[in-house]
Structure formats: C-alpha cells, structure tokens
Amino acid sequence: VIGMHFMNPPPVMKLLEIVRGAQTSEDAFVTIKGLAH
C-alpha cells in the first residue's frame, strides 16, 4: 500500500508526499518514486 498526496495547488507547489505502508515492498516504493520524479 502506498499513499500519494499532492500539495495544493499542484501546478504551483511541485511537492508530493509518498506514504509507505508497513508491508510495502522496496521494489514498489522505488517504482512509485520513479513515477513521481
């Protein structure tokens, strides 16, 4: 499980919070970080 939270307003604030679940694999986390970058 991974949560993603965009700060408001997204076009102005280029900030994304990624919240990792207790059982989230390292591979899933790295994949999401790559998509967010």
In this prediction, residue 36 carries a pLDDT of 87
Rounded distance, CA 4 to CA 14, Å?
Answer: 13
SS (H, E, C) 1-37: CEEEEECCCCCCCCCEEEEECCCCCHHHHHHHHHHHC
**pLDDT tens, residue order, the chain (37 aa):** 899 999 999 889 889 999 999 999 999 999 999 998 8
Amino acid in the structure at residue 11: P
| pLDDT reported for residue 10 | 85
Instruction: Give Cα separations from 28 to 10, 12, 13, 36 (angstroms).
Output: 24, 27, 25, 12
Beta bridge partners of 18: 4
pLDDT at 37: 80
